[in-house]
Amino acid sequence: MARVEFHNVVKRFGDVEAIRDMNLTIEDGEFVALLGPSGCGKSTSLFMLAGIYLPSSGELLFDDRVVNEVEAKDRNIGIVFQSYALYPHMTVRDNVLFPLRFKRIPREEALGRVRAAADLVQVEELLDRRPSELSGGQQQRVALARALVKEPQLLLLDEPLSNLDATLRLTMRTEIKSLQKKLRVTTILVTHDQVEATTMADRIICMRGGRIEQIGTPDDLYHRPDSLFIAGFIGSPPINLIRGQARDGAVHVGPVAFPFEGLPGAVTVGLRPEHLKFAVSGLKGRIGQMEPMGREILYVVETDVGYVRVLEHGSLAVHAAGEPVNIGFSPDESLVFETASERLIAAARVCPPA
Amino acid sequence: MASINELMTERRGHAGSAVRRRTNFGIFLGPAIALTVLFFVIPVIIDIAVSFTDLDRTLRVSKFTTEQYQKVFQGDRRLPQVIGLTFIYVFSTLAIFNVTFGLVLALTTTSLNDMSGGFFRGVWLLPRMSPSVLYILLWLWVVNPSDVGLLNQFLIQVLGLTKPLDLMTTAPVALVIIANGFIGASMGMIIFTAAIRGIPEHLLHAAEVDGAGTLAKIRFVTLPALRWPISFVTIYQTLSLLVSFEYILLLTKGGPFYDTTVYALYVYRHAFASGQYGYGAALALFLIVIGIAVALLGWRFFDLGRLLQRPRIEVH
Amino acid sequence: MAAPATFTGIDTRLATPADWDRLAARARSLRRAKAVALYAFLIAVSLPIILPYFWLLTIAFSTKTGVADTLVLWRSLAVLALAVIAFWLAAMLAQTRRQMWVGVTAIALAATIVFARLVGPDLHLRNFIFLVEPDFASIVRSRAGEVRGAVQFPSVWRAFGNSTLIAGAQTVIVLTVAPLAAYYLSRFQFPARAAMLRSLLVLHAFPVLTLIVPMFLMLYWIGLLDTLAGVILVLVAFELPFAIFIMKGFFDAVPWDIEMSALTDGASRRQAFLRVVLPQVRNGLLAIAVFTFIRGWEEYIFVFTFLIRNTNWTMSLYMYYVRDDVMGVDYGVVSAVGVFYLVPSLILYLAAQRYLMQMSIGGVKG
């Protein structure tokens, strides 16, 4: 149906390279997320797939056929823009009906499809309203209905949840994911929010500066990040990256040392706040700040090797600000990176098999 | 915290004495009001007054009478023709050039890259930027009845016509419409271009992905966004066309005979060529009334709320 | 009712993979056809404008016998057209910026040389005789063997001076009166404010040409008919509503805090206006200055109607009578005068074009 491939795709705007040499395969029916900070080229990639931008060089393939020059209107793609882009002067019904106008479907049947699409996203009661009368969440669902009504082979979502408030975001996350499972349409989600990416997508493509940094399942990226950038990007609260030294068969970070089978040199140790606990021995420090987050508390501890974040479960604060503590961790849960190249040397050993 | 007004009152002991307020009013608004009254209000009054006299070339009023109005409604045999011509002229120029062609120009030039689009828009602004005398001079050259005229050169050498055309005598109304149309199209073009540029890009992208081709995009996205600008241009330009006669005067002087004399030019000719100031004033009054009415209509287009925003400093 | 539609993700009416190539090819040819059609259309409709202006330019600098010949016109157009096409090709084919600039300079050089060879010899400045010889009309006529004309022309510099005087005086007065009024309307509260703002709207759109008859009579009765002062005052008054409207827009955009802090610093409102607010609206002042000046420079109808005895010439009148009197005889001089009259206008418009867009939409709904 719709297997999508990028072959050495480059996109230039004037003298600026927005996408450099992108190679990617997305299988039919997959739900992938293009994740990265703003300006990394994820939306540009999306728009090239949609036919809004033309690649400067390289090839885009749908089902093994080159589609670079095929016009947007012939690609049968559904897209939901960050701004929803609903036609302001048309009712919801006409908005959703719009793509079907160009398919030469009899009006009766088209209206039926509109109703089905509206049911799917639960906007059937809003069909006669105008976009200006709808809330953000409602507009987004109408945009989804419009994208889906033409039964697209590819569904593209450009930061669909970023304009919604927190509760709505949660609801829509589940809704979109279950929709995709039901319809089995190849879906590509663009987002800068790693929580969105990890909770919704089957695979994540992490991008930075126009290049793909790493591709993998959410688990892969969490347990085996290829670089410091990925390690820091995935996981909330963000990982602690602490400078250390590898020598004599061990990694020394602060007063703590643990066995390590690698070349000696400067390393950066990645410790996730959720894997750290206050113990009898370990990294010595003093509690700086506390951020209660409901079911957990985030402590920011000042140590000799910098600020270390520790996440403790439970809602009661057992420690107070200024209190001297020791941070303990299991070496099996640590990530070791070579400081110079920022690449992963040793992944956490306690993780599911690749 | 004290507001600025309280502060000022406290400091000065008053919000501004009456004397100060009056002098401010006089300094700031005085000249403008004086000029406006002198050159807008008084002429209107004069016009009403003169229309009830028999003022003529001698510039002496001998009696007050309503004979001018009688002439308007019954005595002037040429008036219906003039009115008819005015309607045709205003409607044609507006429909063909100001609105339609302005729209076409805006749509086509925005489809090109900025530099090319800007070049063509610049070319179409040239007539408006030229002094009227010069613009008409060029037209006179183009439609020159001998074979020297550019138009005739084109017709004879390219299209193979045998005899040169004299548009001034054979199709003067069309000539006048086209000459004014070129000027009018540029205003529409500017306003529509700005409006088109204001359409959010993603709306057009969405339409593209939904399957809309170029014409469909124009029909479903661009034109609906231009509803207000089109109405604005229509009303504004209707008024403008109704009262302007400068180009016609320069081009055909209203002739041959009265064939291209629109209402406004008719007023001018009666007043200044024939010296019938009284009659001219009576005719002009109708135009003035229409002018005020349409200008009032134009209120709807302006964001009155923003215009009438209350000032936030009350002291003087 | 039709069976409820289901989403299976498959629609047999959609493109099958084999169609992609056909679609791509069709898209390619459509894109090219569209571009060609657009350019062809725009060039076709713009030619009626480009040609006469270009003709004016070429005749002014080339015609010898006073006949409006077109040889120079076609030749220079040909060179220009070829140069433009060459530029366009260079822009398309160049891979880097540097290559493009090299190509462009080369083409420009080549075009200049060709132009100099082909058209150069025909160029001269004799048609600009009117700049130095006030009585050029007789000279031109005697050259063509005709009887002396009816019009006695003053020096063109006199007309130039008058036009500048009128436009300049008008601009100075408007620049003084309009900002004052606009500031007061924008920043002060007074009883008749709403009414005045509404009438400003009406005046700004009011067709001033309708008042030409009573205006004539009024000037006559005041004694200002046939004087430059009368014309200047009329032009000022008619330009005022527009200028006030635009300036008010600019004043509205100045933040209140600046004025408030000036007042707390001890300034009176008048001082605040002069020292703090006025500098903020410099752009607006420039804009109305330029537009008012242009208006005065190009003004024809009021000048023509209110100046009866032609003792005070303006450029527009000069142009008009040159055409009227000399055109049948010598196109060259007429077009030279035309160029002389047109160029200042164009220069001013180019200077003002930044403000054009800002102003034409300010305050309009939608």
Q: Please give the domain boundaries of chain A with CATH numbers for all domains.
A: 4-227 (3.40.50.300), 229-346 (2.40.50.140)
Using DSSP bridges, classify how beta strands A335-338 and A343-346 pair: parallel, antiparallel or unpaired.
antiparallel
Average pLDDT, stretch C253-264? Answer: 85
Q: Within an 8 Å CB–CB cutoff, is residue C17 touching chain A?
A: yes
Contact A135/A63 with Cβ under 8 angstroms? no
Contact call for A85 and B206, based on CB within 8 A: yes
Which residue range forms the structural domain that includes residue B232? 67-299
Q: What's the pLDDT tens digit per position in C265-317? A: 888 888 888 888 888 888 888 888 988 998 888 888 888 888 877 667 888 88
Cα A103–chain centre separation: 34
Band of the pLDDT at C5, cuts 50, 70, 90?
Answer: very low
| Tens digit of each residue's pLDDT, chain A (354 residues) | 578 999 999 998 877 888 998 999 999 889 999 999 988 889 999 999 999 999 999 999 988 888 888 888 888 899 999 989 999 999 999 999 999 988 888 889 899 999 999 988 888 888 999 999 999 889 999 999 999 998 888 999 999 888 888 888 888 899 999 989 888 889 999 999 988 999 999 999 999 988 999 999 998 899 889 888 999 888 888 899 988 888 888 888 888 888 888 788 888 888 899 888 888 888 888 988 888 888 889 999 998 888 889 988 887 778 888 888 888 888 888 888 888 888 887 776 654 444
* Domain assignment present for B154: yes
CA distances from A195 to A191, A218, A234, A238, A300 (A): 9, 10, 8, 12, 22
Q: Which residues of C187-207 are buried (b: 16+ CB within 10 A; e: fewer)?
A: bbeeeebeebbbbbbbbbbbb
Q: Within an 8 Å CB–CB cutoff, is residue C14 touching chain B?
A: no
Domain count, chain B: 1
Strand order in the sheet with A335-338: A256-259, A250-253, A240-247, A265-271, A335-338, A343-346
DSSP class of C364: B
- What ipTM, to 2 d.p.? 0.82
Which CATH number belongs to the domain containing residue B137 in this structure? 1.10.3720.10
Q: Within an 8 Å CB–CB cutoff, is residue B216 touching chain A?
A: yes
Chain B: give the shortest CA distance to residue C303, in Å: 12
Taking one residue from A and the other from C, the number of pairs with CB-CB distance under 8 angstroms is 66
Phi and psi angles of residue A352, each rounded to the nearest 5 degrees, phi first: -60, 150
Side chain identity at residue A43, one-letter code:
S
pLDDT at C362: 44
Cα A305–chain centre separation: 30
In angstroms, the CA B94 to CA B244 distance is: 13
* Domain assignment present for B147: yes
* Domain assignment present for B56: no
Of B67-71, C73-77, C315-319, the range with the highest mean pLDDT is C315-319
Q: Tell me the two tokens of residue B272.
A: 């200044």
Helix axes C331-361 and C19-62, enclosed angle (nearest 10): 130
CA distances from C275 to B254, C174, C257, C280, C284 (A): 53, 20, 14, 9, 16
Q: What share of chain C is helix, strand, coil (3-state, %, to 5)?
A: 75, 0, 25
* Domain assignment present for B1: no
Q: Within an 8 Å CB–CB cutoff, is residue B154 touching chain A?
A: no
- Chains touching A, CB cut-off 8 Å, 3+ pairs: B, C
Contacts of C186 in chain B (CB under 8 A): 311
Using DSSP bridges, classify how beta strands A154-158 and A77-80 pair: parallel, antiparallel or unpaired.
parallel
In angstroms, the CA C262 to CA C187 distance is: 14
Site of tokens 């006089």: B26
B314, pLDDT greater than 90: no
In angstroms, the CA C34 to CA A266 distance is: 61
In angstroms, the CA A215 to CA A232 distance is: 15
* pTM (two decimals): 0.83
Residue of C181, C213, C301 with shortest CB distance to B29: C181
Chain A residue closest in CA terms to C97: A15
Contact call for A85 and B200, based on CB within 8 A: yes
Which is higher by pLDDT, C208 or B10? Answer: C208
